[in-house]
Amino acid sequence: MRIMFLELKRVIKSPMTWISATIAIALSVVISFAVISYSRYVDVDKNGNKVLVTGRAAIRTGKRAMKPYEGPLSEQKLQQVLKTYQTVYKKYGKDIPIDVYREKLLPINSFLDMISEVYSGGINYFESLNKIKPEDIINFYKQRSEMLKTQLEAKYPNNADAQKEVMALNQKVKTPFIFYQGYTGDAADNLAILISLLVLICAVIVSPIFSAEYQNGSDDILRCTKYGKTRLAATKLCASLFIVFAMFTICISIFVLIVNSAYGWDSLQTSAQVLSSALSFLPLTMSQEQELTILAGLITLLAVACFTLFISAKCYNPTTTLVIAIAFCLLPVILYSVGQGNFINLLVCLLPAGGSGLTNSFYFQLRNTLFLQIGSFSIWAPYLMMGAAIIEIPMFFILSIHTYCKHQTV
Amino acid sequence: MELTLNKLTKQYRDKTAVDSLSVTLTPGIYGLLGANGAGKTTLMRMVCGILNPTSGNVLLDGKDTISMGESYRDLLGYLPQNFGYYPVFTAIDYLLYVAALKGLTASAAKVRANELLELVSLQTVSRKRIKTFSGGMKRRLGIAQALLNDPRILVLDEPTAGLDPKERVHFRNLISDISKDKIVILSTHIVSDVEYIADQILIMKAGRLVHQGKPDEITASINGYVWECKADPKQSEQLNDRYIVSNLKHEGNQDMLRIVSKQKPYENAVQVEPTLEDLYLYYFSEQFGENELPDKNQIL
């Protein structure tokens, strides 16, 4: 324990750690307040002119406007939503006055999106909303499952296992959906972006742990001590992981506290389907989705940290380690953007940083029905990402110790 | 206690750094002399277990030190030629860190660290960061960390590099004091570091042990080869070109030369008692092959 404490002290004293941690905390604060400040709500002033309200005012205005719609989204409520739209459209066509739009349609836009998605897959938005009969909405949740099934059959015509797995998860989705105004899809997206940035920063912090010692020769003395091999290597790894874990916890806590407090903690009870896609088959509320995203982010962070420590134990200087680590952090994003196909997607999921990034990340894949083929076996992308990361943590941990102990002075 | 280096070899792609070196060491001070590239540092690293030999092994009382692992390292103290340290650490922080790795308890570590800082005259700067230290101060800190666990086997690679004469004398005396029942291997270019304290001198050249013995025994091997003579500056220049000159001193309009040569190099040359430095030059002069002196016997 004493060696652990001394090693923690050593790493914390390093300027690289201080600077990186400060940047991480600053980013958390900036992103949190940026999310809030980018909140928008279209209001109308006394003269009937459109006014764009932003920030906390937008959040307050939105909450007031959406109050009547909060709670369970029953079929009857959705029926009323559709009737309202059809009445307004019938009266004004596409030239809807701003005050009418703000009062009648703005609050129900997200529900109309859901109806369009469930009944026409989200295409021909206006046409579909005008064609659907309000009495059909009484089967909204049943139709939702049917549409999901149809889309799966189209996407995976020869993969009955994938279809079965998705529908099994969909069975657990609680209906009617719950809605509370507040927490937005933007906030969830920015959480994913923050996690990706924290993963990069963690690679920066841990990259010099071993390779800097090789470079300045300080490991020569340490290796000759009683506990200077396996025990020291394990201690360095644990200390590094603890520091990145602490940094992640502090930064995410800052984000969650600022953003959730601004939007209202009750708004996280909203069903995930309301903010993302009505066809999302995950049986989660926004709160649960947030927790899952954070947990997945932490697992990815630890996998990347262990991988970077392994590279550090291999390389003779910290710059090389850093370049390789950052390259591997960005590789999933690059591969996913430029490549296609099962092999590329598999590679993306298996990389330590596969769970972080942009559209390739765990958070975005939660909403996706991307199944990957391994032989005759299909696996949903988020499962593969997390499974790989969970295996990579102990694997690279052990490999790092082994590599450090085998290292030869040049 | 017996440390046996058994046909130790370290082969790199294009060079044999240590070539089948065998020696048995018992408690005492061993001065390891050799030119740059002789293989001293490579040898010391293999003794300390931070470099694996290509072949051969290091045995402590018959047991292979690699398989002994922690129990061997518990007996070691090592100061490398390039002392790497953590720049953000203070001197006391660094010693406490190394002490923890050496297995000292917290209280013992504190006491020992402060004792050693006092011994190497760094007590007043114990709370200053190592990166602010001069080269000599860093060296002294390096010596201190090597002594933390009162090691039975002390390996010091150029320990006095960067130390002023007073500090070097202090260091010599320190080594002499602590060396009882210890194996101390001390490599240096500064012959005087080992001349007065070493029990045995080991001379390495091109990866091999070319000579081993007590200082007076090995210097006796070049008895009759060391001369002193006076010459005018022009002749002095010629002698300098032809022979190993271990010392040249200008005295008015004459030069006093100390020459290492099998034959009398000059008509007025007189034989003198050889020193370890003469022996070093004898072995490591670039002009000559192994243990050879020039064939030129011409007396000027």
The reply to whether B103 and B208 lie within a common domain is yes
In a domain? residue B117: yes
Work out the minimum CA distance from B162 to partner chain A, whole angstroms: 18
Give the tokens for residue B188.
């240096």
Q: How far apart are CA A382 and CA A281, in angstroms?
A: 13
Work out the minimum CA distance from B41 to partner chain A, whole angstroms: 11
Does an H or E element contain B140, and which?
A: helix B135-146
Find the CATH number of the domain harbouring B94: 3.40.50.300
The reply to whether B83 and B118 lie within a common domain is yes
The reply to whether B197 and B73 lie within a common domain is yes
**Best of A16, A224, A235, A407 to disrupt the B interface by mutation (most B CBs within 10 Å)?**
A224
Contacts of B80 in chain A (CB under 8 A): 217, 220-221
Give residue B117's domain range: 3-219
Work out the minimum CA distance from B36 to partner chain A, whole angstroms: 16
Contact B86 A224 (CB under 8 A): no
Q: pLDDT at position A21, please?
A: 95
Query: Chain B residues contacting A, CB < 8 Å?
Result: 45, 48-52, 69-70, 73-74, 76-80, 82-86, 88-89, 93, 96-98, 100-103, 106, 142, 145-146, 149
Partner residue opposite B48 with nearest CB, options A14, A213, A224: A224
* pLDDT value at B297 more than 50: no
The reply to whether B142 and B231 lie within a common domain is no
The reply to whether B94 and B193 lie within a common domain is yes
CA distances from A32 to A22, A38, A58, B6, B38 (A): 15, 10, 16, 65, 62
The reply to whether B115 and B131 lie within a common domain is yes
User: Which of B168, B189, B219 is the endpoint of a domain?
Assistant: B219
pTM: 0.89
Q: Report ipTM (2 d.p.).
A: 0.85
Contact A226 B96 (CB under 8 A): no
Contacts of A6 in chain B (CB under 8 A): 93, 96-97, 100
Contact B83 A9 (CB under 8 A): no
In a domain? residue B169: yes
Contacts of A410 in chain B (CB under 8 A): none
Q: How far apart are CA B110 and CA A394, in angstroms?
A: 35
Residue with tokens 């941690």: A21
Contact A32, A137 (CB under 8 A): no
The reply to whether B239 and B215 lie within a common domain is no
Query: Chain A residues contacting B, CB < 8 Å?
Result: 2-3, 6-7, 9-10, 13-15, 213, 216-229, 232, 408-409
* pLDDT value at B292 more than 50: no
Work out the minimum CA distance from A303 to partner chain B, whole angstroms: 27
The reply to whether B56 and B112 lie within a common domain is yes
- SS3 string, chain A, reads CHHHHHHHHHHHHCHHHHHHHHHHHHHHHHHHHHHHHCCEEEEECCCCCEEEEEHHHHHHHHHHHHHHHCEECCHHHHHHHHHHHHHHHHHHCCCCCHHHHHHHHHHHHHHHHHHHHHHHCCCCHHHHHHHCCHHHHHHHHHHHHHHHHHHHHHHCCCCHHHHHHHHHHHHCCCCCCEECCCCCHHHHHHHHHHHHHHHHHHHHHHCHHHHHHHHHCHHHHHHCCCCCCHHHHHHHHHHHHHHHHHHHHHHHHHHHHHHHHHHCHHHHHCEHHHHCCCCCCCCCEHHHHHHHHHHHHHHHHHHHHHHHHHHHHHCCCHHHHHHHHHHHHHHHHHHHHHCCCHHHHHHHHHCHHHHCCCCCCHHHHCCCCCEEEECCEEEEHHHHHHHHHHHHHHHHHHHHHHHHHHCCCC
Q: Domains in chain B: how many in total?
A: 2
User: Which of B219, B236, B260 is the endpoint of a domain?
Assistant: B219
Q: What is the DSSP letter of B123?
A: G
Q: How far apart are CA B172 and CA B143, in angstroms?
A: 12
A52, β-bridge pairs:
A42
Overall average pLDDT of the B284-294 stretch: 49
Which one, of B199, B205, B157, B202, lies nearest residue B180 by Cα? B199
CA distances from B221 to A40, A139, A174, B283 (A): 94, 108, 97, 12
Residue with tokens 């040359």: B269
Report the percent of chain B where pLDDT is more than 90. 44
Please tell me the number of Cα atoms within 13 Å of B227 on its side-chain side.
21
In a domain? residue B293: no
Work out the minimum CA distance from B94 to partner chain A, whole angstroms: 9
The reply to whether B77 and B19 lie within a common domain is yes
Which one, of B185, B141, B174, lies nearest residue B48 by Cα? B185
The reply to whether B248 and B177 lie within a common domain is no
Q: pLDDT at position B286, please?
A: 54
The reply to whether B280 and B247 lie within a common domain is yes
Interval B126-168: pLDDT, tens: 999 999 998 888 989 999 999 999 999 999 998 888 888 888 8
User: Which of B163, B192, B219 is the endpoint of a domain?
Assistant: B219
In a domain? residue B289: no
Contact A3 B101 (CB under 8 A): yes
Who contacts A43 (Cβ-Cβ below 8 Å, separation ≥6)? A50, A51, A52, A53, A61, A102
B154, β-bridge pairs:
B77, B184
Give the tokens for residue A312.
């550090």
**Best of B101, B107, B110, B154 to disrupt the A interface by mutation (most A CBs within 10 Å)?**
B101
Counting as low any pLDDT under 50, the low residues of chain A are none
Contact B50 A232 (CB under 8 A): no
What SS3 class is residue B158? coil
Q: How confident is the model at residue B188 (pLDDT cuts 50, 70, 90)?
A: confident
In a domain? residue B105: yes
Size of interface A-B (CB pairs under 8 A): 89
Q: pLDDT at position B287, please?
A: 44
* pLDDT value at B96 more than 90: yes
In a domain? residue B291: no
Work out the minimum CA distance from B226 to partner chain A, whole angstroms: 40
In a domain? residue B207: yes
The reply to whether B49 and B194 lie within a common domain is yes
Q: pLDDT at position A160, please?
A: 87
In a domain? residue B296: no
Report the percent of chain A where pLDDT is more than 70. 99
